[in-house]
Amino acid sequence: MSTRMRAARLHSPGEGLIVDTIDRPELRAGDILVRVASCGVIPNMNAIFSGSLWNHLPPLPASVGLDAAGTIAAVGGDVVDFKIGDRVYVNPWLSCGACSYCRAHEPMLCSAAGFQGYFGFFPQSRRVLDAYPIGGFSEYMTAAPNRLVRLPEEVGFDQAARFGYLGTSFAALRAGAVGAGSWVAINGVTGTLGVGATLLALGMGATRILGLGRNRAVLDRVRALAPNRISTLALGERSIAEWLREQTEGLGVDTLIDCSGRGAEASHTADALGGLKRGGVCVNIGALTEKLAIEPIKFMTNRIRFQGSNWFTTGEGQLMAEMARVGVLDLSKLDTEAFPLDGVNEALARVKQRPGGFTNIVVNPGR
Ligand SMILES: [Zn+2]
């Protein structure tokens, strides 16, 4: 095995990635080396790589790529549970293991959290990014075994490269206690998070899924996934709260998953909150930035909650792999558009066109 490899790197924020030949990462005793088969390309990626957001980019030039899946090519001497040839998804969430949150077993709250191949949440995230400096748009990358999701044969690498956004939706549905017989509304149902949330809610046993979105063609496609369980409403057509109540015997939904993101209108979220059942919960995963007008008294008297959720645990990733193995999470509904490593900038341009949540855009570094 050559000690050199190809990797797409960000040299300058806002400019295209450059495919360089660099040293393969050194394998530490506690880590594994993955030969990357596929890495996801997500809507937010261009904004992050522009360097204009609050996130802290790794030192440049940086090997990037967030959601990688592939085959284990080598294992460090201290690794016991994985072997060469195992198929895995690499959860890029990095936590420090030592901060107050990590010591309380809350790695999702880590004070130095970062995403391998993407960015750090805080200036001090630099140390976790330095420990795992290679992203998924590379032929090889290293990872710690506790971040690996084992992939059954039934889950393709291109499908697993969607696990980041799927997992974000899954964790939100779990935070919203979605299960057998749940009534769920999904705001932004036509996007990457929304389509994933729909597929997962179907698998988790939700019986009424009420989707809100703009693109009518994609709304129709969402509804066609399970016409007896899914209804959709085009945003702007009428009052969301009224419609949600009409669909739920006047009660409202148990859970609202709000996927509306940067640039979306908060008024739709405010309207949808009026369609929550008493005791219900709204979980935001879209990173809505516009100020949201709420009436706190309704949160009090109706005992409703508004909460945020970001990313997911490796354990939740493993649950999704198991759901996909038996088909209750039906990933065959997604259309994959795969690009070779040399086409990484075309893949990033493609995702900018917002092709809709059914389109799964990936880069295959080995191709
Ligand atoms: Zn920590």
pLDDT at 263: 83
Q: How far is the CA of 280 from the centre of ligand 1 (A)?
A: 31
Q: How far is the CA of 108 from the centre of ligand 1 (A)?
A: 8
Q: How far is the CA of 132 from the centre of ligand 1 (A)?
A: 15
CA–CA separation, 59 and 117 (whole Å): 11
Nearest one of 151, 132, 133 to 331, comparing CA atoms: 151
For the cut 90, the answer to whether the pLDDT of residue 25 exceeds it is yes
- May I ask the CATH class of domain 166-308? alpha beta
Q: How far is the CA of 129 from the centre of ligand 1 (A)?
A: 13
The two tokens of residue 32 are: 């594994």
CA–CA separation, 211 and 319 (whole Å): 24
Residue type, 316: E
Q: How far is the CA of 359 from the centre of ligand 1 (A)?
A: 34
Average pLDDT over residues 6-13: 97
> 3-class DSSP state for residue 314?
helix
Query: What region does 189 belong to: left with phi over 0, alpha with psi -120 to 50, or beta?
Result: alpha
CA distance from start to end of the chain: 17
Reported residue count of the chain is 367
Q: How far is the CA of 111 from the centre of ligand 1 (A)?
A: 5
Average model confidence (pLDDT) for the chain?
96
pLDDT at 259: 97
Q: How far is the CA of 114 from the centre of ligand 1 (A)?
A: 10
> Quick check: 360 and 158 in contact, CB under 8 A?
yes
Residue type, 315: G
The two tokens of residue 20 are: 């360089």
> Quick check: 281 and 128 in contact, CB under 8 A?
no
CA-to-CA separations, 289 to 203, 249, 285, in angstroms, rounded: 30, 32, 11
CA–CA separation, 118 and 10 (whole Å): 10
pLDDT digits (tens, 9 = 90+) for 117-128: 999 999 999 999
**How would you classify the pairing of strands 253-258 and 276-284?**
parallel
What dihedral do alpha carbons 63, 68, 72, 76 form, nearest 10°? 50
Q: How far is the CA of 313 from the centre of ligand 1 (A)?
A: 14
pLDDT at 355: 86
Q: Where are the domains of the chain?
A: 4-162+334-364, 166-308
Q: How far is the CA of 281 from the centre of ligand 1 (A)?
A: 28
pLDDT at 1: 64
Q: How far is the CA of 110 from the centre of ligand 1 (A)?
A: 4
Q: How far is the CA of 131 from the centre of ligand 1 (A)?
A: 14
Range of weakest confidence among 51-55, 138-142, 339-343: 51-55
pLDDT digits (tens, 9 = 90+) for 250-265: 999 999 999 998 889 9
CA–CA separation, 137 and 66 (whole Å): 8
Region 4-162+334-364: CATH code? 3.90.180.10
Report DSSP letters for 277-298, one per residue.
EEEEEEEE-SB--S-----HHH
CA–CA separation, 141 and 26 (whole Å): 9
pLDDT at 43: 84
pLDDT digits (tens, 9 = 90+) for 266-324: 999 999 999 999 999 999 999 899 999 999 999 999 999 999 999 999 999 999 999 99
Nearest one of 155, 249, 166 to 202, comparing CA atoms: 166
Q: How far is the CA of 40 from the centre of ligand 1 (A)?
A: 26
Q: How far is the CA of 105 from the centre of ligand 1 (A)?
A: 9
Q: How far is the CA of 168 from the centre of ligand 1 (A)?
A: 20
Q: How far is the CA of 116 from the centre of ligand 1 (A)?
A: 15
For the cut 70, the answer to whether the pLDDT of residue 18 exceeds it is yes
At a CB cut-off of 8 Å and minimum separation 6, what does 250 contact?
none
> Quick check: 258 and 191 in contact, CB under 8 A?
no
Band of pLDDT at residue 2, cut at 50, 70 and 90: confident
pLDDT digits (tens, 9 = 90+) for 162-215: 999 999 999 999 999 999 999 999 999 999 999 999 999 999 999 999 999 999
Q: How far is the CA of 109 from the centre of ligand 1 (A)?
A: 7
Average pLDDT over residues 11-38: 97
Q: What are phi and psi of 213, to 5 degrees?
A: -165, 180
Q: How far is the CA of 123 from the centre of ligand 1 (A)?
A: 13
Residue type, 285: I
CA-to-CA separations, 227 to 157, 220, 221, 247, in angstroms, rounded: 29, 10, 10, 14
Q: What are phi and psi of 256, to 5 degrees?
A: -115, 120
CA–CA separation, 139 and 341 (whole Å): 9
